[in-house]
Amino acid sequence: VMDISMLPSGQLTPFNAYVALSRSWGHDTIWLLRDFDVQLFTQHPSEYLWNEDECLDKMDERMKQWWQMTKASGAVYKCLHAQT
């Protein structure tokens, strides 16, 4: 049984809710004590982390494009063949 409603002593964070729910063995074993704010699970927990995720996504896309161009040019084969 879990209570993820607003705490009287302060605000429940998405991280706190995640930790509470992650202790379960699955959705069949979770019983919520009362209603909770759905926005708790629909907002990103940290603007800083959201920005970092965006940066990593852009870097990933650039790396994929670079790899496709490198692979298409045969540079990878030439580099590996030169080392043998």
- pTM (predicted TM-score): 0.47
- Which residue pairs from 35-40 have beta carbons closer than 8 angstroms and sit at least 24 positions apart in sequence? 35/5, 36/4, 36/5, 36/6, 37/5, 37/6, 40/4, 40/12, 40/14
Q: What is the mean pLDDT of the chain?
A: 77
Would you kindly state where each structural domain of the chain is located, as residue ranges? 1-45
Per-residue confidence band for 5, with pLDDT thresholds at 50, 70 and 90: low
Range 62-76 average pLDDT: 85
Q: What is the pLDDT of residue 62?
A: 96
Q: What is the pLDDT of residues 37-68, one digit of tens each?
A: 777 777 777 889 889 999 999 999 999 998 88
The CA–CA distances, whole Å, from 23 to 6, 15, 70 equal: 19, 13, 45
